[in-house]
C-alpha cells in the first residue's frame, strides 16, 4: 500500500501494544534495557544468551522476513556479552553474535542485514569446535554500517566512520573514514571541518520529537475511517 489507511486511534493502539509487548516479553531477556526504546514488531526480535544491554532511546526495527538476532554463545564460562549504546538504530535482519565481547557505541546505525561477529564459530583446523578463534569487536560512536555489511572478529571501527553496503571488515577502520569493499579499505575521510549531527543530537528532546511525529500522523491520517481501512484490506484498489 502507498499509505496507512488505519484510523489514527488504531495506529496509537498498535504502537501502545508493541510498547507493552517489548516491556513484558523482551525486557526480561536484556541485562539492561534503557528508557525510551522503540521496538517495531518486537515479536520478531530474538535474544539468545546474555548479557545483552541496550541503551536509552534506541530504535529496533524487525520484520517477519528479517528478524533481529542478538546472540551470546560463549565457551568462556559466561564471559561473552553484547553492549549497544544509546540512540542506536538497528534495522531489519541485523545479527550480532558474540562469543567474547561486542561493544557498539551510542548513535550507531546498523542497516538492514548487517552482521557483527567476534568469532569464527568453528575451528579452522578442528571443524568440530563450536566457537573457534574469537577476538572482541569495538565499534565507536556514531558509526554507520551499511546494508548487508559484515564486521568480523577483532575489528575496531573509529567514531563517525561509514562502512559501505556489502563490505567485509576484517581489519581496523580509523575514525571519520569511509570504507567499502571485500576486504574493506578506506576510500576517503570525512571533512573534519564540517559539524556532525548524531542521532543523540536528534533525540536530545524526545518529548518534543514524539509530539512532532504525533502531529504529522494526525495530519496525514485525519481523513482515515474504519470503513475505508477495512475496504483497503478487503477490496484494495489502485492508489491505495
Helix 206-221 and helix 8-21, axial crossing angle in degrees, nearest 10: 140
Query: What are the backbone dihedrals phi and psi of residue 132, each rounded to the nearest 5 degrees, phi first?
Result: 75, -160
Question: Are 77 and 109 contacting, i.e. CB atoms less than 8 angstroms apart?
Answer: no
Question: Are 180 and 167 contacting, i.e. CB atoms less than 8 angstroms apart?
Answer: yes
Question: Are 26 and 38 contacting, i.e. CB atoms less than 8 angstroms apart?
Answer: no
Is 122 one of the catalytic residues?
yes
Catalytic residue among 29, 122, 133, 219: 122
Within 8 A by CB and 6+ apart from 12, the residues are none
Q: Is the Cα torsion angle 213, 219, 225, 230 positive or negative in sign?
A: negative
CA pair distance 212, 79, nearest whole angstrom: 42
| Residues recognised as catalytic | 122
Amino acid at each position: 500500500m502507498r499509505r496507512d489507511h488505519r484510523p489514527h486511534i488504531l495506529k496509537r493502539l498498535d504502537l501502545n501494544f508493541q510498547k507493552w509487548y517489548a516491556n513484558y516479553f523482551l525486557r526480561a531477556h536484556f541485562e539492561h534495557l534503557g528508557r525510551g526504546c522503540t521496538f517495531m514488531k518486537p515479536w520478531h526480535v530474538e535474544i539468545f544468551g546474555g548479557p545483552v544491554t541496550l541503551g536509552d532511546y534506541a530504535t529496533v526495527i524487525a520484520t517477519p522476513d528479517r528478524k533481529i538476532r542478538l546472540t551470546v554463545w560463549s565457551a568462556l564460562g559466561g564471559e561473552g556479552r553484547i553492549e549497544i549504546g544509546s540512540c542506536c538504530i538497528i534495522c531489519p535482519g541485523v545479527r550480532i553474535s558474540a562469543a567474547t565481547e561486542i561493544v557498539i557505541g551510542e548513535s550507531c546505525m546498523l542497516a538492514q542485514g548487517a552482521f557483527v561477529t567476534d568469532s569464527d564459530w568453528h575451528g579452522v583446523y578442528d571443524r568440530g569446535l563450536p566457537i573457534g578463534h574469537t577476538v572482541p569487536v569495538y565499534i565507536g560512536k556514531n558509526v554507520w554500517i551499511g546494508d548487508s555489511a559484515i564486521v568480523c572478529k577483532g575489528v575496531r571501527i573509529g567514531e563517525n566512520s561509514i562502512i559501505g553496503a556489502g563490505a567485509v571488515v576484517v581489519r581496523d577502520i580509523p575514525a571519520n573514514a569511509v570504507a567499502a569493499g571485500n576486504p574493506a579499505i578506506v576510500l576517503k575521510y570525512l571533512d573534519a571541518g564540517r559539524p556532525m549531527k548524531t542521532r543523540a543530537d536528534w533525540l536530545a528532546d524526545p518529548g518534543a520529537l514524539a509530539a512532532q511525529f504525533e502531529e504529522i500522523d494526525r495530519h496525514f491520517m485525519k481523513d482515515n475511517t474504519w470503513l475505508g481501512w477495512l475496504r483497503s484490506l478487503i477490496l484494495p484498489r489502485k492508489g491505495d
